[in-house]
Chains A and B, each alone.
Chain A
Amino acid sequence: MIWLNWRQFRLQALAGAAGLALIAVYLLYLGVEIRDAYDAYRTRCSDPGNCAQARSQFQSTYQNTLLFLAGGLGLIPIIIGTFWGAPLIARELELSTHRLVWNQSVPRRRWLISRMAFVGLAAMILTGLVSLLLTWAASPYDQVAADRFGAVVFGARNIAPIGYAFLAFALGTVVGLLVRRTLPAMAITGVVFLVLQFSVPNLVRPHLIPPEKTTMPMTSQDINQARNLGSITGAPSIGGLQVPGAPDAWISETSPLRTADGRTLGESTFNDCLNTPPKTGAGGTFGDTAVCLSKLNLHVDIEYQPSSRYWPFQLTETGLYLVVSGILIAIAIRRIRHA
């Protein structure tokens, strides 16, 4: 079976290896460059007055590049699912070659397991290597940016991409087996996995581990640290807060501004503060508005994940993807008997 696996996979493997080589060269180059920039930033930090500026300059130089890389390389699992997974069985069924290969002296299930193991392993190795290189290249930046839980960044580092790639591959295989035609199977796999990759970070990931809960009083200082205030619906919302004493923590849920009795702040009161705050001459991001709001004795209830949970999250999410892949493989093994 190993020979047959290789013979049927070699073109795709070659394409994958070529892609990997290109990505690797670029990431090695980028990693060295980021390290040089990091050293320069540390050197400028010997003068404490320049440190904050040097830091934000270093951060902004690589922020977009690394975000695009995380997003772009996040497509690799989808490519694997559509180009390696979906055709695996669908193509055999389409060309009728299953009637040839299933009548050799290898039982169908063993054939399927062998083929899935071979290509699935290749998928995991490929994404694992890309992720390793990206994690390495970005590590000085990640240390400075303290945004490891960022929705896109989290899924592009360490072991999470391995889980994604295996699930995408297993999904493609099963869809191919059920749909029996290569092109529709590729399309369905791509769309389903894309939807999955958008929904998991927002809908599933925050609940993988029960979050810590805390209440943050909203002093004018706290309000000025937020990134945004208010929303187009006029609701008294606040966003981009930092958990006191845990700047790396991931805030997954922020309540609207609440009054001392726990009710949501009335919209008119909020908008009065937002639009026509009493002039006090206060500075800061939100100035008089912050002062106005702070006098109302407000707080927000937040749910957050301390940064010490980064690895438990990586492991849990990867494990979840592998378990779902396992279920899909079990379905494939069951279905192949009746194909």
Chain B
Amino acid sequence: MPGGGADFQNGIMSKKNSAPVLQAEGLTKRYGRRAALSEVDLTIPAGRVVGLVGPNGAGKSTLLNLACGLLKPTSGSLRVLGSRPAENAAHLARVGFVAQDTPVYPSFSVADHLRLGARLNPSWDQELAERRITQVGLNPGQKAGRLSGGQRAQLALTIAAAKRPELLIFDEPAAALDPLARRGFLENLVEFVAELGASAVLSSHLLSDIERICDHLIVLCEARVQVAGKVRDLLAGHHRLVASQGELDRLPAGVEVIRMEHNGQYSRALVRTDVPPSSIPCPVEPVTLEELVLGYMSRANAAPAATVGAAAGEGPR
């Protein structure tokens, strides 16, 4: 890695820049007896647009609310930009958060919201805020309670971004939007991230959103991280194997089966490998991101019964 030597020489400055935006160790959050997150270990490097996918109730919101300090972990540690979440005013200024359903004050006008941002954030960029508000066609005098879902989301995004944070966190920002508004919102989001040079983490249960704008992916399911990494690396490290029955039972070391499907004479397997595809003794096909994510999700869903079920189901065939 060429960055390694530079880090040593540049000392503190580069250390700050290279600190992971999010680092979790054994992170656990329980609501009563139910674990929303269970022993999560996760590192997100700086400079990425990270997509957090998983079914509803997987723990995505919990993870993001922990990251911005609205929730406290039950156990384990979580560091955001090298500090405890929401540790102090300076740290709050470095993280922008857009909550689920993009809450705003119904009785405040759009301009009031910008004023709120300006009064409460020392690093506020009024020029940026006003430019964006104009760009998305919001009337500054309009009461936020009368805005459509898409307009409200744009307003919440602008407030979060105009404090010029180093990290933007979005919790299902586009969930309630119609397809057109969603597209506009996501485009705007990407522009903001690029303009600010910020990192971003956004959760969604819609893979298409993630696929369009993210370069890093985390699959969260059943309170655990199933897989995480750069989208490009993930696609390069996963393959679809199609072969006749039995042939897939003898795979070389270093090839892990994520999901196996049997279809008549043939079997299809989603595998993760760290060996070159050429060393696999059957046809190797590339996978789509959707296939990859679904593979991990169905493995997680089946997990409690998986070991028993797999053995019993495959034995007699």
Contacts and interface: CB of A to CB of B under 8 A. Distances in A.
Interface in A240-275: none
Given A96-B101, A107-B86, A108-B86, A102 B70 contact: yes
Contacts of A1: 119-120
B278 interface: no
A142 to B, nearest CB: 44
B89 A100 contact: no
B86 A100 contact: no
B117 interface: yes
Contacts of A95: 103, 105-106
B121 interface: yes
B72 interface: yes
B196 interface: no
B202 interface: no
A96 B103 contact: yes
Given A1-B120, A3-B115, A338-B72, A103 B105 contact: no
Contacts of B106: 95
A106 interface: yes
Interface in A300-339: 337-338
A103 B70 CA distance: 9
B68 interface: yes
B88 A107 contact: yes
Given A3-B115, A104-B92, A106-B89, A99 B103 contact: yes
A104 to B, nearest CB: 4
B116 interface: yes
Given A1-B120, A105-B93, A338-B72, A96 B112 contact: no
A108 B92 CA distance: 10
Given A3-B115, A4-B116, A105 B121 contact: yes
11 contacts: A3-B116, A3-B119, A97-B103, A99-B99, A100-B103, A100-B156, A103-B160, A104-B120, A105-B122, A108-B86, A337-B72
Contacts of A7: 108, 112, 115-116
B101 A104 contact: no
Given A7-B112, A102-B70, A337-B72, A97 B92 contact: no
A103 B119 contact: no
A104 B70 CA distance: 12
A42 B1 CA distance: 100
A104 B116 contact: yes
B120 A96 contact: no
Interface in A80-105: 95-105
Contacts of B27: none
A104 B117 contact: yes
Contacts of B116: 3-4, 7, 101, 104
Contacts of A337: 72
Interface in A33-69: none
B96 interface: yes
B163 interface: yes
B33 to A, nearest CB: 18
B43 interface: no
B315 to A, nearest CB: 51
Given A100-B103, A103-B92, A103-B95, 6 more contacts: A4-B116, A7-B112, A99-B70, A100-B105, A103-B97, A104-B120
